[in-house]
């Protein structure tokens, strides 16, 4: 099996490795780099738990090959903050609004929300909710996530 | 003693791991660092639902790249069994297969991909037999997992014959996949002298421990099972986790290397059990008010190929076929059909939802027949004075359902909105709305009495920090937080003083599954018991040291007051340690007052009931069969809530999960017994857009009449059945197209196809 050299910027650090062409970005991040924030939920690109940002765009890392990230910038949930004690404002809102229960889907929701929050023009609450319907949560009734959206969009008014 | 005004208990405190979850630092089993010698596992599985295995040629599997070992049933050193009760679930098939997808052999390889690819290379010769798949086939063959059960009171047949009105009908309801976001996973590691440590995403560490030990032919003391958290479970990791844990332990046993089994999502959905689907036949007699005079209910469920927990699940369906209604002369017959499918298993509600949906359909059908408001029929049938004994002989002691329904009816403006819906429907040809208000009464306790016990282990360290461990498992429901609140309150300290640690069988033994909504009830009481033991020792120490009465020692606000002395909590802990006071204790709890005669189906299987009610408003498109849930108003009883924010999360999440069961989540098997809906691409759980725009949850304000932990009530399962209101509202919307045809024959899940079919039948005037 031939291996390919891949290097990209992950959460501000340059990383590299040798990967099979078919290795997904998710497996590369989790197994080779040890970056376990993106979670393997369905591995079909449906549940959204593995969502990361590539060049600022939210992508399903289970559907993207590691070699496709070559030369790009990749952000995962670990890169949003300096850790549990210095949370990004959206992470803080998630915590405050009980937007999680088991937490397995949470990193994916966060990455999509961060991408939406950074995008111009900024989407309104309804557009954010529509975008988040691409993420599955089995524990909550999505009420906390919707409160996060409300607070995010309120802040802008 | 502890100051009750210091309210850690009852405060809306955040989940103990929330800060870790949002930072991506909450560790799940698959996040554990992998060592280079780690083996990855996959099953080779059967392609027939029912067959004798003639031969297995696994040469190609063994020769595949990366494969280290391949195991079959012959390699199991002890019991080839991963079942919770009956001993009939094989780890690896032995001579026969009884469902399609059943594990035949186990591949251990250097990567997950290598294991999964090799697992497809087995050449199996089968002597295939005709599988039993449908209710009709199972009935014809009298294929049962246990004898048909009967719960009865009075003479239902005679009461039916004498009733002024009679109706009969049928309702089919589908099963449900748990779709926990974290799939099944186990990571086993070798310890010295043949011992094994297993990280298992399980609701039932003790059962995994016992099964792994028996499978290896070792004692329970040689196996330690640990789980810090699960990424969701919902009953799907009560008995189903054992398969993967046992597979990993088997590989450790043979290779001496650590082994991880993370099931692929499709494999997980094929290989693990789901909620039971049911077919219900009813015959009901009633008066002009809709009050039921006699009822015959036949509940039939497909239990799959093995027993699993089906007896208790189907019992719970019978227990909940009354819901909040008094059924005087009643006969409930429950058939537990054995079919060549993956064994159906526990899922939030555990048979309760199916029993309750059956009686709610009876209420709707009666109302449709009489042309009365369904809520009026429901209210006429509620338990009340002189009508307060369940079909299984238990008195409904705190019957708050009538008051709770009345309050929701008023607060959510049921009558006004029902009138508005009628006006809308009169003017709208294509879109039709429906509104329904349904109650929930759910029995709390394991109906298998001995399971109602729990243990805890509490350490207070000399620096004042506290570590609590108990037998319950954390699956996102906030159990760890609630138990930590109980402990903090007992010592009058803040929650930040309490560290709650991973559930481990070497800390608290012989535990029950975290199931039956019992987690906080049982483990909270066990933790309190341990805390009270240590608190009594400290109070005694203070009384002796400072010359005051034991009762005058107060633990509050992070301080301890003893007579004229006042000191920080940590100072007391240090002084107690220096004085050689034991600061470690176990705690235990066994739910009192439970008894049940299963042969007669009579007794008191529950400690108490949890109640709730929901009003749902829906709109359907009569051309496409599509629908939207527009609004849901919920009033739910958590007793005196331990944590209202966590409880509201359970209520909203349970409701939406129930809505999914009844609307979009459809399991489809083909004629060979192959599950066709084994991924989220074909199996649709609710998303943020399926949630009603208006979802309003209020907690009923009232203490549990039983002395539960701080008078709270269990909240895990009961809210699931609030979604029955959605199903009734959909029925009402369909009925509105042709009210004179009675209540529509709508089966669950109410997919667009089923709604269209029900609309067609309604137009043709087929009566329910």
Q: Are residues B549 and B654 part of one domain? A: no
Q: Considering chain B, what is the average pLDDT of its residues?
A: 97
State residue B768's pLDDT score: 44
For residues B646 and B525, give the distance between their C-alpha atoms in angstroms, rounded to a whole number.
Answer: 18
Q: Chain A contact for B529, CB < 8 A?
A: no
For B537, the token pair is 């020792």
Residues of A in contact with B645 (CB under 8 A): 98
Read off the tokens for B638.
């958590």
pLDDT at B1: 41
Report the candidate in A64, A114, A119, A72 with the shortest Cα–Cα distance to residue A94: A114
Residue A8 reports pLDDT greater than 90: yes
Are residues B206 and B335 located together in one domain of the fold? no
Alpha-carbon gap, residue B240 to B765, rounded angstroms = 45
Q: Which residue of A has its CA nearest to B659?
A: A141
Q: Which tokens hold the place of A12?
A: 């501000």
Supply the pLDDT for residue B2. Answer: 41
The whole-number average pLDDT for the span B313-323 is 98
> Does the residue A28 lie in any domain?
yes
Q: Which pLDDT value is given to residue A82?
A: 81
Evaluate whether residue A84 is within a structural domain: no
Does the annotation count B717 as an active-site position? Answer: yes
Show which of A79, A99, A131 is a domain's final residue: A79
The A residues from 101 to 120 touching B (CB cutoff 8 Å) are 101-107, 110
Q: Measuring CA to CA, which residue among B437, B424, B438 is closest to residue B737?
A: B424
Residues B521 and B391 in one domain: no
Q: Is residue B335 part of a domain?
A: yes
Averaged over B50-69, what is the pLDDT?
A: 98
Q: Classify strands B466-470 and B498-500 as parallel, antiparallel or unpaired.
A: parallel
Task: Work out the average pLDDT over B318-347.
Answer: 98
Domain boundary among B241, B271, B301: B271
Condensed to tens digits (0 to 9), the pLDDT of residues B245-267 reads: 999 999 999 999 999 999 999 99
B180–A contact, CB cutoff 8 A: yes
Domain count, chain A: 2
Residues of A with Cβ-Cβ distance to B110 under 8 angstroms: none
- Considering the domain architecture, whether residues B227 and B93 belong to the same structural domain is answered as yes
Give the CA dihedral B293, B298, B301, B307, nearest 10 degrees: 100
Closest of B106, B101, B104 to residue B305, by C-alpha: B101
**If DSSP codes are grouped into helix, strand and coil, which group holds residue B664?**
coil
Residue A97 sits at φ, ψ, to 5 deg, of: -95, 15
User: Is the alpha carbon torsion for B307, B313, B315, B321 positive or negative?
Assistant: negative
Residue B522 pLDDT: 98
Same domain, B617 and B738: yes
In a domain, B425, yes or no: yes
Q: A105: which chain B residues are within 8 Å (Cβ-Cβ)? A: 181
How many angstroms away from the CA of B26 is the closest CA of chain A? 8
Same domain membership, residue B547 and residue B626: no
**B114 with B182, same domain?**
yes
As given in the structure block, the two tokens for residue B233 are 């479970």
The fraction of chain B above a pLDDT of 70, given in percent, is: 99
| Chain B nearest CA to A78, separation (Å) | 6
3-state secondary structure of B285: strand
SS3 B292: strand
Output the pLDDT for position A154: 86
State residue B766's pLDDT score: 57
Confidence tier at B242 by pLDDT (50, 70, 90): very high
Residue B572, domain CATH: 3.30.365.10
Confidence of residue B7 (pLDDT cuts 50, 70, 90): confident
- Judge whether A42 is closer than 8 Å to chain B, CB to CB: yes
Residue whose entry in the numeric block shows the structure tokens 């509202």: B729
Q: Which of A21, A103, A134 to mutate to test the interface with B (most CBs of B within 10 A)?
A: A103
Q: Does B120 reach chain A within 8 Å, measured CB to CB?
A: no
> Are A44 and A66 members of one domain?
yes
Q: Domain check: are A68 and A94 in the same one?
A: no
Q: Which of B19, B265, B689 is nearest residue A42 as measured by Cβ atoms?
A: B265
- What lies within 8 Å, CB to CB, of A120 at 6+ separation is none
- Residue B756 contacts by C-beta under 8 Å, 6 or more apart in sequence? B624, B625
B21 touches chain A (CB under 8 A): yes
Reading the block at residue B163, the tokens are 């009733």
Mean pLDDT of chain A: 95
Tell me the nearest-neighbour CA distance from B237 into chain A, angstroms: 14
Token look-up 């207070």 returns B460
Note whether B20 contacts A: Cβ–Cβ < 8 A: yes
A-B CB pairs within 8 A amount to 177
Residues B525 and B615 in one domain: no
The answer to whether the CB atoms of A139 and B232 lie below 8 A apart is: yes
Partner-chain residue, chosen from B17, B234, B695, that has the shortest CB–CB distance to A103: B17
How many helices (H) and strands (E) would you count in chain B?
19, 29
The domain of B307 spans 278-447+598-763
Phi, psi angles (nearest 5°) of residue B19: -65, -30
Give the domain-ending residue among B590, B613, B632: B590
Alpha carbons B582 and B578: distance in angstroms, whole number = 10
**Cβ-defined contact of A139 to B26 (cutoff 8 Å):** no
The minimal CB distance from B685 to the residues A40, A96, A138 is found for A138
The domain tally of chain B equals: 3
Residue B91 within any structural domain of the chain? yes
Catalytic residue among B238, B474, B717, B753: B717
* Residues A73 and A136 placed together within one structural domain of the fold: no
The CA distance from A136 to A14, in Å, is 31
- CB atoms inside a 10 Å sphere around CB B65: 12
Chain B, nearest residue to A1 by Cα:
B65
Of the partner residues B25, B33, B232, the one whose CB lies closest to the CB of residue A104: B232
Determine the distance in angstroms separating the CA of A60 from the nearest CA of chain B, rounded to an integer: 14
Residue A75 bridge partners (DSSP) = A53
B401 within 8 A of B438, measured Cβ to Cβ: no
Q: Between chains, do A138 and B15 touch, taking CB under 8 Å as contact?
A: no
> Is residue B415 scored above 90 in pLDDT?
yes
Best mutation site among A86, A141, A145 for testing chain B: the one with the most B CBs within 10 Å?
A: A141
Share of chain A above pLDDT 90, in %: 91
Please indicate, yes or no, whether residues B253 and B358 belong to a single structural domain of this protein. Answer: no
Strands (E), B204-268: 223-227, 259-262
pLDDT per residue as tens digits for the range A65-107: 999 999 999 999 999 998 788 899 999 999 999 999 999 999 9
B548 and B650 share a domain?
no
Nearby residues of B692 by Cβ (< 8 Å), 6 or more positions away: B616, B617, B629, B630, B631, B632
At B424-473, the pLDDT tens digits run: 999 999 999 999 999 999 999 999 999 999 999 999 999 999 999 999 99
Lowest mean pLDDT among A142-156, B426-440, B610-624: A142-156
Please tell me which residue of chain B has the smallest CA distance to A23: B113
Q: Which residue in chain B has the smallest CA separation from A97?
A: B14
Mark yes or no for CB contact A101/B264 under 8 Å: no
The CATH number given to whatever domain includes residue A53 is 3.10.20.30
Phi, psi of B18 (to 5 degrees): -55, -40
- Biggest CA–CA distance in chain B, Å, is 86
CA B60 to chain centroid: 41
Q: What is the pLDDT of residue A156?
A: 62
A145: Cβ–Cβ under 8 A, 6 or more apart, which residues? A94, A97, A99, A109, A132, A137, B688
Residues A45 and A105 in one domain: no
Q: Tell me if A139 and B649 make a contact (CB, 8 A cut-off).
A: yes
Q: Is the pLDDT of residue B767 over 60?
A: no
Residues A99 and A134 in one domain: yes
The closest CB to that of B18, out of A42, A95, A133, belongs to A95
When scoring A32, A131, A139, A143 by the number of chain B Cβ atoms within 10 A, the one with the most, hence best to mutate, is: A139
pLDDT of residue B4: 44
Contacts of A137 in chain B (CB under 8 A): 181, 688
Residue A19 has pLDDT above 50, yes or no: yes
Domain with residue A94: its CATH number is: 1.10.150.120
Q: What is the pLDDT of residues B656-670, one digit of tens each?
A: 999 999 999 999 999
Q: Does B182 touch chain A (CB under 8 A)?
A: yes
ipTM score of the complex? Answer: 0.97
Q: Which two tokens stand for residue A15?
A: 């990383």
Which residues lie across from B454 on neighbouring strands? Answer: B589
Between B23, B28, B265, which is nearest A104 by CB?
Answer: B28
Q: Is B653 on the interface with A (CB under 8 A)?
A: yes
DSSP letter, residue A139:
S
Full domain range(s) for residue A116:
89-154
Q: Which of B13, B17, B18 to probe by mutation at the A interface, max A CB count within 10 Å? A: B18
Share of chain B residues as helix, strand and coil, in percent rounded to the nearest 5 = 35, 25, 40
Tell whether A139 is covered by a domain.
yes
Between chains, do B23 and A98 touch, taking CB under 8 Å as contact?
A: no
Q: Which residue of B has its CA nearest to A41?
A: B181
Q: Report whether B299 contacts B318 (CB < 8 A).
A: yes
Q: Name the B residues in 682-701 with CB < 8 Å from any A CB.
A: 685, 687-691, 695
Nearest-by-Cβ selection for B475 from A46, A76, A102: A102
Q: Where are the alpha helices (DSSP H) in B306-451?
A: 310-319, 352-370, 374-381, 401-411, 414-427
Nearest to B318 by CA among B437, B443, B438: B443
The answer to whether residues B734 and B759 touch, using CB atoms and an 8 Å cutoff, is yes
CA distance B477 to chain A (A): 6
Q: Is B679 on the interface with A (CB under 8 A)?
A: yes
Cα atoms in the 13 Å half-sphere on the side-chain side of B161? 4
Domain stop point among A79, A112, A137? A79
Q: What is the distance, to the nearest Å, from the Cα of residue B534 to the centroid of all Cα atoms in its chain?
A: 34
Asked if the C-beta of B24 comes within 8 angstroms of chain A's C-beta atoms, the answer is yes
B647 touching chain A per CB within 8 A? no
Cβ atoms of A61 and A121 closer than 8 Å: no
Say if CB A115 and CB A52 are below 8 A apart: no
d(C-alpha B683, C-alpha B655), whole Å: 18
The per-residue pLDDT for range B187-224, each reduced to its tens digit, is: 999 999 999 999 999 999 999 999 999 999 999 999 99
Q: Do the domain assignments include residue B768?
A: no
**pLDDT-derived band of residue A157, with 50, 70 and 90 as boundaries?**
low
């Amino acid at each position: 099996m031939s291996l390919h050299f891949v290097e990209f910027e992950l959460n501000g650090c340059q990383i590299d490795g040798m990967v099979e062409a078919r290795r997904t970005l998710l497996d590369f991040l989790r197994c080779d780099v040890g970056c376990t924030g993106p979670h393997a939920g369905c591995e079909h690109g449906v549940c959204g738990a593995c969502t990361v940002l590539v060049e600022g765009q939210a992508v399903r890392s289970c559907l993207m090959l590691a070699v496709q990230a070559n030369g790009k910038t990749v952000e995962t949930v670990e890169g949003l903050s300096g850790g549990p004690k210095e949370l990004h404002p959206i992470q803080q809102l998630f915590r405050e609004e009980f937007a999680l229960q088991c937490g397995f889907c949470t990193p994916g929701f966060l990455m999509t929300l961060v991408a939406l929050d950074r995008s111009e023009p900024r989407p309104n609450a309804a557009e954010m909710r529509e975008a988040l319907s691409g993420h599955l949560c089995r524990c909550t009734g999505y009420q906390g996530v919707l409160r996060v959206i409300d607070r995010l969009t309120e802040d802008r008014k | 003693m502890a100051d009750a005004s210091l309210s850690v208990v009852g405060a809306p405190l955040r989940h103990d791991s929330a800060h870790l979850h949002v930072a991506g630092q909450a560790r799940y089993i698959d996040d554990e660092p992998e060592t280079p010698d780690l083996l990855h596992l996959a099953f080779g599985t059967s392609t027939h639902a029912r067959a004798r295995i003639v031969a297995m040629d696994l040469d190609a599997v063994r020769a595949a790249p990366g494969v280290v070992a391949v195991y079959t049933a012959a390699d199991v050193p002890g019991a080839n069994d991963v079942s919770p009760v009956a001993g009939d679930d094989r780890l690896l098939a032995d001579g026969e297969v009884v469902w399609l997808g059943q594990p035949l052999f186990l591949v251990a390889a250097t990567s997950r991909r290598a294991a999964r690819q090799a697992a497809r290379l087995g050449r199996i010769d089968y002597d295939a037999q005709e599988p039993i798949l449908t209710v009709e086939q199972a009935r014809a063959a009298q294929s049962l997992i246990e004898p048909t059960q009967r719960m009865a009171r009075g003479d239902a047949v005679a009461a039916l014959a004498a009733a002024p009105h009679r109706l009969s009908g049928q309702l089919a309801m589908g099963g449900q996949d748990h779709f926990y976001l974290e799939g099944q996973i186990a990571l086993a590691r070798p310890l010295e002298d043949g011992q094994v440590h297993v990280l298992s995403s399980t609701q039932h560490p003790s059962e995994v421990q016992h099964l792994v030990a028996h499978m290896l032919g070792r004692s329970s003391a040689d196996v330690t099972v640990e789980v810090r958290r699960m990424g969701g479970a919902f009953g799907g990791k009560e008995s189903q986790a054992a398969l993967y844990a046992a597979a990993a332990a088997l590989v450790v046993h043979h290779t001496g290397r650590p082994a991880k089994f993370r099931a692929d999502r499709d494999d997980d959905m094929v290989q693990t059990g789901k909620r039971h689907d049911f077919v219900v036949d009813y015959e009901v007699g009633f008066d002009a008010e809709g009050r039921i005079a006699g009822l015959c209910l036949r509940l039939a469920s497909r239990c799959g190929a093995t027993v699993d927990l089906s007896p208790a699940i189907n019992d719970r369906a019978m227990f909940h076929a009354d819901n909040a209604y008094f059924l005087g002369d009643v006969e409930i017959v429950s058939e537990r059909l054995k079919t060549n499918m993956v064994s159906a298993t526990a899922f939030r509600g555990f048979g309760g939802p199916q029993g309750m949906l059956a009686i709610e359909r009876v209420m709707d059908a009666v109302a449709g027949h009489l042309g009365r408001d369904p809520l009026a029929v429901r209210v006429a049938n509620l338990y009340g004075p002189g009508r307060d004994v369940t079909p299984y002989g238990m008195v409904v002691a705190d019957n708050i359902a009538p008051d709770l329904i009345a309050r929701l009816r008023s607060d959510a403006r049921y009558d006004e909105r029902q009138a508005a819906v009628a006006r809308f429907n009169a003017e709208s040809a294509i879109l039709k709305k429906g509104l329904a208000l349904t109650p929930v009464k759910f029995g709390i306790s394991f109906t298998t009495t001995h399971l109602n016990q729990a243990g805890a282990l509490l350490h207070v360290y000399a620096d004042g920090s506290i570590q609590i461990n108990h037998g319950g498992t954390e699956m996102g429901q906030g159990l760890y937080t609630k138990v930590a609140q109980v402990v903090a309150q007992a010592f009058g300290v803040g929650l930040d003083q309490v560290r709650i640690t991973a559930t481990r069988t070497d800390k608290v033994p012989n535990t029950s599954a975290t199931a039956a909504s019992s987690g906080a009830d049982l483990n909270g009481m066990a933790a309190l018991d341990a805390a009270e033991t240590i608190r009594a020792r400290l109070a005694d120490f203070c009384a002796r040291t400072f010359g005051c009465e034991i009762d005058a020692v107060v633990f509050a606000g992070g301080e301890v007051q003893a007579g004229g002395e006042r000191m920080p909590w940590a100072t007391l802990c240090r002084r107690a340690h220096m004085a050689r006071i034991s600061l470690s204790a176990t705690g235990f709890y066994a739910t009192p007052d439970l008894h049940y005669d299963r042969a007669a189906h009579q007794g008191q299987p529950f400690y108490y009931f949890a109640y709730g009610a929901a009003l749902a408003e829906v709109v359907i498109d009569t051309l496409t069969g599509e629908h939207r849930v527009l609004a849901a108003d919920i009033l739910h009883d958590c007793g005196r809530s331990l944590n209202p924010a966590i409880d509201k999360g359970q209520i909203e999440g349970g409701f939406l999960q129930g809505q999914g069961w009844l609307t979009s989540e459809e399991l489809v098997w083909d004629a060979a017994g192959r599950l066709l809906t084994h991924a989220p691409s074909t199996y649709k759980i609710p998303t943020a857009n399926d949630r009603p725009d208006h979802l309003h949850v209020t907690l009923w304000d009232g203490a549990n009449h039983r002395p539960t932990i701080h008078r709270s009530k269990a909240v895990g399962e009961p809210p699931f059945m609030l979604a029955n209101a959605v199903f009734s509202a959909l029925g009402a919307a369909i009925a509105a197209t042709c009210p004179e045809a009675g209540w529509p024959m709508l089966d669950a899940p109410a997919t667009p196809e089923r709604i269209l079919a029900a609309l067609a039948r309604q137009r043709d005037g087929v009566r329910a």
